[in-house]
Amino acid sequence: MKVFPCLASLFVAWFAALGCIQAVTLEVKEGNSTCIKAELSASFSITYNTSSSTRTVVVPLPDSTTIDTASSSCGSDGRSPWLVALFGSSHALGLSFSTNGSVYSIANLTLQYNLSDTSLFPDSNSSDVVTVVSGSVGIWAPINTTYRCLTPTTIGVGGATVTFSDMRLEAYMPGNELSPAESVCMADQTTTTAPTTTASTTTTTTPTTPEPTPPGSPERGSYSVKTSNGTVCLLAQMGLQLNVSYVSQSQNKTVQELLNLNPNLTSSAGSCGASSATLVLTQEPTTMLSFTFTVNSTTNKYRLSEINLQANWSDMTAPFSASNDSLNYLRSTLGHSYMCNAEQTLAVEPTFSLNTFRLQVQPFGVTTNQFAAAEECQMDQDQMLIPIIVGAALAGLVLIVLIAYLIGRKRSHAGYQTI
Ligand SMILES: *[C@@H]1O[C@H](CO)[C@@H](O)[C@H](O)[C@H]1NC(C)=O
Ligand SMILES: *[C@@H]1O[C@H](CO)[C@@H](O)[C@H](O)[C@H]1NC(C)=O
Ligand SMILES: *[C@@H]1O[C@H](CO)[C@@H](O)[C@H](O)[C@H]1NC(C)=O
Ligand SMILES: *[C@@H]1O[C@H](CO)[C@@H](O)[C@H](O)[C@H]1NC(C)=O
Ligand SMILES: *[C@@H]1O[C@H](CO)[C@@H](O)[C@H](O)[C@H]1NC(C)=O
Ligand SMILES: *[C@@H]1O[C@H](CO)[C@@H](O)[C@H](O)[C@H]1NC(C)=O
Ligand SMILES: *[C@@H]1O[C@H](CO)[C@@H](O)[C@H](O)[C@H]1NC(C)=O
Ligand SMILES: *[C@@H]1O[C@H](CO)[C@@H](O)[C@H](O)[C@H]1NC(C)=O
Ligand SMILES: *[C@@H]1O[C@H](CO)[C@@H](O)[C@H](O)[C@H]1NC(C)=O
Ligand SMILES: *[C@@H]1O[C@H](CO)[C@@H](O)[C@H](O)[C@H]1NC(C)=O
Ligand SMILES: *[C@@H]1O[C@H](CO)[C@@H](O)[C@H](O)[C@H]1NC(C)=O
Ligand SMILES: *[C@@H]1O[C@H](CO)[C@@H](O)[C@H](O)[C@H]1NC(C)=O
């Protein structure tokens, strides 16, 4: 009799832990017919002010998300079809659709969040409800087809970003179910060899466990951040390896885990400012890594001042979070990029360090989508010295051999003469 409630609470905890991985299904209906249906996972990366600094949190769209039937609409009243999903304490995600008869698209995306929710925004110095709208979402499909994008797609909206993954969505639906014909997004076409036509339904649930891959050198990824007008303002190329220690559920002890970020599964987002720039990398569904660069205007130098990691891997007993905002890494001069081909270890917290490989970044002053001249790290400069030293040593050796030969020849000449 006592076992049952115990088991039940265990299951609740289990599902709560899985909450951020699971996809939600959202449906807007009018009468008996469905006009918008979306099956997706989403997470939001939101930056807010505390009294002393700024902080970035990643908020998953929870299972408990519901449709706001009062605001959502199928558009029969002359308005655009609108899907409004509510979650947590008065946070909302809105998708507005438009069509030209042959193609439908997300016309704009609205994110509303309530900074007085201290469970999501601890230490926020504001209690405002913030509403941000993005006009260029880039999600569209022919009418009577389902838009499909399993690859994470990140959309910037105000200072926040929204990352969708495992997404299937249709508006202006001809029936009550998603159309079997799928319009597959570009990212899915390049990262998988899946057919571009309707995929069989058995393959729809791709494994959502990009969990700890065996180590080895991580693959180098190319990441960028764009301003709202589409120009690239931050560039980064690097291989990244996370070194995290956490309490393992299966082993009931603290374990040290290395995870290589897989660029194919990682999306980038962020923001650029004159004195501070942030790059947010998200490997769906459970890893978020952010870098903040700041400028010292008296010296005209910039540095990597903050690293923040949030992770919720399946074997973790609790979501992992580590951040440090008083770092002093990757120092370079404004107008230059920073480069380090050698492996570097960036210590963040005792429980988390980051290994970088073949790194080049430029967080400020990017023009024409290209890196400016690079300032190289000391390790690379030292490594460059090795061939020079070896070369010099070889040249010296050749010289000695040559001199020895010449002397030897002179001696032997002298020898013949005395005989
Ligand atoms: C909705 O469904 C109910 C029962 O299935 C049916 O009686 C009703 O006529 C339907 N309404 C519309 C508008 O189709
Ligand atoms: C943080 O505060 C600064 C200065 O008041 C303001 O410009 C900025 O918009 C705030 N950021 C957020 C995310 O509220
Ligand atoms: C919140 O903090 C930022 C600096 O972090 C400051 O600029 C802003 O004025 C503060 N806002 C309020 C409402 O106190
Ligand atoms: C609708 O928009 C798409 C993409 O912008 C375009 O290719 C198509 O020709 C348009 N159709 C009509 C009927 O305007
Ligand atoms: C979003 O797009 C719809 C349809 O184009 C439009 O009616 C609505 O005003 C837009 N909302 C915002 C906030 O731009
Ligand atoms: C924001 O959240 C707080 C605390 O959860 C709540 O009291 C308040 O009503 C919310 N604001 C709105 C506009 O719903
Ligand atoms: C979409 O499907 C509906 C019902 O099957 C049909 O009436 C309509 O003509 C189709 N529209 C297009 C653009 O194919
Ligand atoms: C985009 O905005 C940046 C500043 O945010 C500006 O320097 C640049 O000229 C703009 N580019 C275009 C194409 O409008
Ligand atoms: C990972 O971190 C631990 C503890 O800081 C350290 O002992 C270990 O060498 C690190 N491993 C790698 C591959 O960086
Ligand atoms: C986990 O380890 C702790 C002590 O290290 C022990 O008290 C506890 O019973 C263990 N739990 C399980 C489920 O094995
Ligand atoms: C990423 O994709 C490329 C090309 O599709 C492939 O060659 C590479 O092996 C993939 N990397 C990983 C780590 O899956
Ligand atoms: C900028 O650099 C100077 C010289 O290194 C240092 O004294 C000053 O504290 C730095 N300012 C900031 C805001 O980090």
pTM of the model: 0.52
Using the mean position of ligand 7's atoms as its centre, give its distance from the Cα of residue 151 in Å: 28
210 — phi, psi (to 5°)?
A: -85, 40
Q: Which atom of ligand 12 is the closest one to the Cα of 297?
A: 1
Fold of 221-378: Porin (2.40.160)
Closest Cα to atom 1 of ligand 9: 243
Note the pLDDT of residue 158.
83
Map residue 405 onto helix, strand or coil.
helix
Using the mean position of ligand 3's atoms as its centre, give its distance from the Cα of residue 366 in Å: 29
**Which ligand ends up closest to the CA of 115?**
6
Using the mean position of ligand 4's atoms as its centre, give its distance from the Cα of residue 102 in Å: 6
CATH for the 3-188 domain, from 1.10.340.30, 3.90.550.10, 3.20.20.70, 2.40.160.110: 2.40.160.110
**For residue 403, what is the enclosing H or E element?**
helix 378-418
Q: Which atom of ligand 2 is the closest one to the Cα of 49?
A: 1
The Cβ of residue 387 has, within 10 Å, a number of other Cβ atoms equal to 9
Ligand 6: lining residues by beta carbon, under 6 Å: 89-90, 114, 116-117, 129
**Which ligand ends up closest to the CA of 225?**
8
Ligand 11 neighbourhood includes 211 CB (under 6 angstroms)? no
Shared fold status for 3-188 and 221-378: yes
Note the pLDDT of residue 338.
96
Note the pLDDT of residue 406.
84
Using the mean position of ligand 8's atoms as its centre, give its distance from the Cα of residue 160 in Å: 19
**Please, what are the averages of pLDDT over each run of 10 residues along the chain (419 residues)?**
39 36 84 93 89 84 92 88 93 95 93 93 92 88 93 83 91 93 83 38 36 72 87 94 92 91 90 89 87 93 94 87 91 94 94 96 93 90 72 81 82 60
Using the mean position of ligand 8's atoms as its centre, give its distance from the Cα of residue 43 in Å: 28
The Cβ of residue 30 has, within 10 Å, a number of other Cβ atoms equal to 15
The whole-angstrom separation of Cα 380 and Cα 248 is: 37
Mutate to test the pocket of ligand 12, among 52, 53, 293, 299 (most ligand atoms within 8 A of CB): 299
**Which ligand ends up closest to the CA of 303?**
12
* Domain ranges, ordered by start, for the chain: 3-188, 221-378
Closest Cα to atom 1 of ligand 5: 108
Query: Would you say 260 and 219 are in contact if contact means Cβ atoms under 8 Å apart?
Result: yes
One-letter-per-residue 3-state SS of 376-400: ECHHHHHHHHHHHHHHHHHHHHHHH
Note the pLDDT of residue 193.
40
What type of residue sits at position 377?
A: C
- The CA-CA-CA angle for residues 408, 413, 417, to 5°, reads 145
**Which ligand ends up closest to the CA of 252?**
10
Ligand 11 neighbourhood includes 192 CB (under 6 angstroms)? no
Pairing of strands 232-248, 266-272: unpaired
